A and B are shown apart, each in its own frame.
Chain A
Amino acid sequence: MARTRTSFGRDTGLQARMLLTMFLLGLLYVGFVGVLLAAGAGFGIMLVVIGGLLAAQLFLSDKIALRAMGAREVSPEEAPGLHAMIERLCIQADLPKPKIAVADTDVPNAFAMGRSKKSAVVCATTGIMRTLEPHELEGVMAHELSHVKNRDVLIMTLASFFASMASMISQFALFFGSGDDDSPAGLVIFLVSFLVYIISFFLMLALSRYREFTADRGASLITGRPSALSSALMKISGQMQRVPTQDLRTAGQMNAFFIVPTSVKGTIQTLFSTHPPMEKRIERLNELEAQLQAPTV
């Protein structure tokens, strides 16, 4: 009974980071709203507009994301293999079955969306299903399911909402704010919004990269095969360079939700990328595999 493989060690890092991100985002927005109010924005209108947009984001984000990817939900009759695979993973991970969607594109990718376990959607592209072996695809789907289990998709949705709000307001202020009376209010709103946008952008990136590691770990926990996922990642990243650019661009807006980001370029990539470098992820998966293979005493 002394031998326990039930977890590959503890990982409370994600929880701490998610809490910190939420706290900092909250702080940021209290400050932001304060400045907006001081600059003379109507409190009631602001509350209604921001509240409404937030609700829309929370309840429609999965549909919008699926629409943006050209993905649609598939029934067990349409994709029996994928459904059966995910059903088994759900038993293993103790999750209710999510909705399953397929996007008809050659870009080999997968993502998970949704505000709760029950409303979650897991999407795979036809490209990834063609590219990967069954056990590799299983690793990738387990990765997406552990995003659902970790509930970090919700935080990402919120974080990206705040970022896009700030960017919207700063654009609005730029175009209309300092119009007729040359008051400094418009400029202040623009500068503050811009600052808020930048800060929340970086907070989001930091969380996004970390949550990928956690989901990789979760996937290994579900399937017990870290090396299957790393071989999948290697295959996908190798494939990435050969896919048509048109598809890359249309898929570009959703990078933070993907298992592998589609735009891979430049030296500042590490600073701005939503995903950790592939080598780092494969390296960590390799460590997990080593832990698994280590003889127990």
Chain B
Amino acid sequence: MGFLDALLGGGRKLKAPAADRLFAMTTAQITLEVGVGLKHRGVAGIVFQAIATADFKEILTETNELIRGSAEDTGTKVEEATDEFGYRWVILRDADFEDLVVSLNTVSTQLQGGGYGDRLLCAVFSFEEEGRPIHVIYNFKRGSFYPFVPAPGEKQRNTERELQLKAQIGPELPIEPEVERWFPLWEIPL
């Protein structure tokens, strides 16, 4: 942040999302599975803010049709949910991880194509360690990933495990460098 930025209020615009980095998750999954010993749960989600406009609804319907269409080849199941914060989720289920990433990319591309790219909040990949969930979150605005490990208790997170995971998958994934941007996501309906 420079002096002029301070004067002019620089960085006001919302950044366009970076979607193509999503595919880095395919290689990272192998590391997570083989190297770290996590199991993917065959589910991933994309969370966004719904806007009440006519064409947004249209795009959602189109997206659904598109995924259902390609789901016949891949076998991906699609669900929708709304969380308690009023955000919408498109939840994808597929035992094949690569298909999951491809379908997730389809959803985000579709929303971006409609001009709603800046509505995308994150994509969430769900893993499991000794029966406990571990999430890898992709922040579209930053184009970066970070681990999110909920801990037992009301809205607690296991920061130590998250930092361990960062060290383990760091070489595979563009990890968000600023730890203060590792925002938790509560009530993940995956």
Contact = CB atoms under 8 A, between A and B. Distances in A.
Contacts, number: 103
Interface band, chain B: 35 or more
B63 interface: no
Interface stretch (B36-44, B51-59, B99-107): B51-59
B155 A295 contact: no
Interface string A1-33: 101111100000011001100100000000000
In the A-B complex, list the 5 residue pairs whose CB atoms are closest, starting with the nearest: A150-B9, A3-B115, A5-B115, A224-B51, A94-B141
B8 A18 contact: yes
A70 interface: no
A146 B13 CA distance: 10
A218 B186 CA distance: 25
Interface stretch (B25-33, B67-75, B117-125, B159-167): B117-125
Interface stretch (A45-53, A61-69, A82-90, A236-244): A82-90
B88 to A, nearest CB: 11
Interface string B6-31: 11111111111000000000000000
A188 interface: no
7 contacts: A15-B8, A18-B8, A18-B9, A22-B7, A92-B14, A218-B12, A292-B51
Nearest to B49: A224
Contact of A151 (B6, B115, B141): B6
A117 B9 contact: no
A134 B55 CA distance: 25
A225 interface: yes
A152 interface: yes
B180 A97 contact: yes
A96 B180 contact: yes
Interface residues of A, number: 47
A149 interface: yes
Nearest to B120: A92
A267 interface: no
Contact of A94 (B8, B114, B142): B142
A223 interface: yes
Contact of A3 (B9, B14, B55): B55
Nearest to B116: A5
B139 interface: yes
A169 interface: no
Interface in B149-188: 154-155, 178, 180-181, 183-186
Given A4-B115, A138-B86, A221-B118, 12 more contacts: A6-B115, A14-B9, A91-B122, A94-B14, A96-B178, A97-B180, A97-B183, A149-B9, A150-B9, A225-B51, A225-B52, A293-B54
Contacts of B184: 84, 87
B86 A135 contact: yes
A91 B14 contact: no
Most chain B beta-carbon contacts within 10 A, residue among A14, A88, A152, A155: A88
A221 B116 CA distance: 11
